[in-house]
Amino acid sequence: MNSSRQSLVSSKPEKSDFPACSSLLIVLIALTCLSASCSVKRVEIPPHEEANLREEIARKGKIKSIESVFSIEFRKNGSPEDGDAVLRLSPDNFDLQVYSHGLLAADIRTINNEIKSIPPLSRIVLRMLVDGLRSSFFWWSMEEYNARDEGGKYIISNSARTVLLNRKTLMPEEQAVEVEERWLIKVFYDEPKLFGNVMFPSGMRIELANQSVKLKIETLSITDY
C-alpha cells in the first residue's frame, strides 16, 4: 500500500488493551493524530454525497453470497507459506479450503455458528481467517454506522469496525475490526479490479498479532438475491 496513504491503524499489531467502553473509532483517531500531528482535516460529507454513499452501501447489502478463488500466503513471525484457496462466503456461513502443492491443507467452515477446522488451528489463526475474511469481503456489512470525510477519504465506522474508502471509487483501502477477544484485525486492500461485472479489490493483507495472510484474487462471483 502506498506509504502516503492515510493510515487507520498503528504499526503495532497487538491485542487491544483499551477498556471495553472505549470506542474503536476514538482509538484509531488518536493513533492517526499521533502519526500525522493531527493535521488531517475532518469535515462533514455534503448531504448529496452521503446519500450516494449510503445508497451504494445499501445496494451492496443485497449481496447474499460471494465465491472466490485466490492465491494465499501465510506469515507467522516472518516465515511464509504459500498455497491456493477456495472461499464460499455468506453473512451466516463460511466455507474455506486451502491447498498446498495441489493437496488439501486445511478445511475451515462454520456449522451452526461453530467454527470447525481440519486440522485444528489456533484461535488467532481461526479469527484471522474467519472474521478477517468475512469482514474483508463483506466490508459494507455494518449496522448503524457513521460516515465522515477525513483527509479526502470517506470513513464509515461503528463501535467495532472502521473502514476507509476511496472517495472516487467507493472501494475500501483499509479496515480495522475489533473481535470478541478484543484483538484488532487490520486489513489493507490492493487496487480494485473488474471481475466480470463486479468491481472488487484485487487482493488484501489481513493482520492479527504476529501473523498475517495475503491474498491475490483470481476469480470472484456474487449472488445478490
- 10 Å CB burial of residue 11 (0-12, 13-18, 19+) is exposed
- Per-residue exposure over 101-133, b if at least 16 CB sit within 10 Å of its own CB, e if not: eeeebbebbbeeeebebeeebeebbbbbbbbbb
Residue type, 205: R
State the cell numbers at 167. Answer: 472517495
What is the Cα–Cα distance from 47 to 73, expressed in whole angstroms?
41
Residue whose grid cell is 460516515? 147
Segment 53-70, tens digit of pLDDT: 999 999 999 999 999 999
pTM of the model: 0.81
- 10 Å CB burial of residue 10 (0-12, 13-18, 19+) is middle
Segment 83-139, tens digit of pLDDT: 999 999 998 899 999 999 999 999 999 988 899 999 999 999 999 999 999 999 999
What is the Cα–Cα distance from 143 to 156, expressed in whole angstroms?
10
Q: Is the dihedral of CA 61, 42, 171, 7 positive or negative?
A: negative
What is the Cα–Cα distance from 60 to 170, expressed in whole angstroms?
11
- 10 Å CB burial of residue 97 (0-12, 13-18, 19+) is middle
What is the Cα–Cα distance from 60 to 63, expressed in whole angstroms?
6
Average pLDDT along the chain? 85
Residue 6: predicted pLDDT: 52
Mean pLDDT, rounded, for 141-145: 92
Does the pLDDT value for residue 16 go beyond 80? Answer: no
